[in-house]
A and B are shown apart, each in its own frame.
Chain A
Amino acid sequence: MTEAGRSVLHPKHISARRREWNKTLLGLAFISPWLLGFLWLILYPLFASLYYGFTEYAILTPPKWVGAENFITMFTKDKLFWTSVGNTLYYVAISVPLSTVFSIALALLLNAKVRGMSIYRTVYYFPTVVPVIASVMLWAWILNPQAGPLNYLLGLLGIQGPGWLSDPHWSKPALIILGLWGLGGATVIYLAGLQDVPTHLYEAAELDGASGIQKILFVTIPLLTPVILFNVIMGLIGGFQYFSQAFLGSAIGAGGQGTGIGAPMNSLLFYNLYLYRNAFGYFQMGYASAMAWVLLVFVLLLTLLIFKLTGRFVYYAR
């Protein structure tokens, strides 16, 4: 007998409430893989790290409650904390706008109906699939102050190339350049967004006598704003979680000089790197957890702020 058959024969036995509940159970059943993982690996750790943030915890010994001491030290006494915040903000503040502008420009370029488009798309996108170790090693090589091609090309233009990864003032720009090589990811999203822009709007603009650039500024960009918002948020989140490139960049580029993680001179000590150093270098899991929560609060506030602010600027074709 099928379920449907049963319910036809005995309608009164399954009340509406019961049916709702059954549906909920079924829904929960289907999402149970995610839900269980969420409870075990996300929710519990979330609160556990909050707890650890108030302790001193070096793995082999049990956590020792120290109250708000970690947070106080972090904000008032720990200079490296502020260094890492500064480094991260520097990177985010420069790379997010730069990559937004460039990837939109690139997407506009790629939107043309040109032959061989898929080849171009591949070429622009594939740097993002190269493993980070390979790309950092490659760029450390390219940015070699003495023998690397970039400084050589700069030299041809009469510019004395800086020390890039070995120079504390230029190590972050070096990573920003590396990041720009990976523009393809955002470009592709913008491309798709561009193709969603209704052509009749362009025609209307043309009738009004709009030039090419005006079309871009007043039709394309406003309609792209939801995509821009999405990419900016993703870029910010990615920026605040920046780790591998900085870790590898300071290891490869500083080439044994300086002070290890974050070299040279802590110029590459990003927030995440400092967290890692505290957790796995000094075995101060409590302090590292406190740092993680500070970051979480910051990201939440920032996201809320962005949504509030951009309500006015973002256009939704709903």
Chain B
Amino acid sequence: MRAETTFKPDLSSQEEIARRLKMRARIRAYLASFTKHFTLIVVGLIFVLPMYWMVSSALKPNAEMFVIPPKWIPSQLLWDRFPKAFEYIPFLLFAGNTTYITIYNVVATLVSCTLVAYGFGVLQWRGRDVFFYLLIATMILPYQVTLIPQYIIFSRLHWINSFKPLNVPAWFGTPFLIFLLRQFFMTIPVDLIDAAKIDGASHPRILWNIFLPLSLPALATMSIFTFMWNWNDFLGPLIYLSDPNKMTLTLGLYNYIGPGWDRTEWGMLLAASTMIAIPPVVLFFFAQRYFIEGISVTGIKS
């Protein structure tokens, strides 16, 4: 811009230019920031609007449900829809079942995945990589191809219409989470392991005393994932649960839709849906760091 040869510092015009450049830059930065914020907010609204619609419709009086133009803000807030939804569908029963299955899965998954991830990530042994590739391969397997024989296996064991087909497999680990934890384990410095070995610690000791304490974030991530998957699971309960006393929230709600007497009480159904969605959303809000980091780690390292 300024010719480097002229050296007469003409302060006033230089300052002018400098000031104007700075202001232009500041305006540009301001505009950029504004556009970014604006776009973020607009897109954010688009994402949030459906949820707002769900909650507001859940609270709307029936007469305002199907009006044209749609009523964005209900004239009354029928807060009692939420407790009423507890009667309309056996919400507490379903919630209890879902909670049981979810917590069982979290515990079993943590135990099994930890062991397996240690075997894949820390121990060095011949054949380890072969089995590891096998693990990866199973992640690509479409579940349909094992679904029917699994169903038949469970039915021969008389496990249909019980929680067992949904619970027991957790003891065998989840490939995705094993992978996640293994990657994490591999980031733990080898010197720690060597030091422990010199002290004479056996592997279970090492796992328990060294790896687990260091892996709490990863374990938290795994628990959260498992919670989400099980809380939201639909196909599993659909196939394996028939007794209404055993149904989970997602399955139970599905069974209450459909034509028929007062079956399409949208207000109730939406209220129930909102309540089903609350635990995962709340959990996510508080634990989003673990969630998002967990996904990023696997995404990148894969």
Contacts and interface: CB of A to CB of B under 8 A. Distances in A.
Direct contact of A and B (CB under 8 A): yes
**Overall SS of chain A's interface:** helix
A129 B51 CA distance: 12
A74 to B, nearest CB: 14
Given A30-B115, A124-B47, A188-B296, A129 B228 contact: yes
| B: contact size bracket | 35 or more
B200 A52 contact: no
A42 interface: yes
A185 B295 contact: yes
A192 B291 CA distance: 12
Contacts of B48: 123
Contacts, number: 285
B83 to A, nearest CB: 18
A303 B135 contact: no
A93 interface: no
Nearest to B128: A27
B295 A188 contact: yes
B112 A137 contact: no
A138 B273 contact: yes
Nearest to B272: A134
Contacts of A299: 140, 142
Interface in A20-43: 20, 23-24, 26-38, 40-42
B202 A118 contact: no
Interface string A59-87: 10000000000000000000000000000
A272 interface: yes
A108 to B, nearest CB: 10
B171 A33 contact: yes
A185 B155 CA distance: 35
Nearest to A23: B125
B140 to A, nearest CB: 6
A293 B120 CA distance: 29
B143 interface: yes
Interface stretch (B2-10, B214-222, B274-282): B274-282
Interface stretch (B13-21, B74-82, B253-261): B253-261
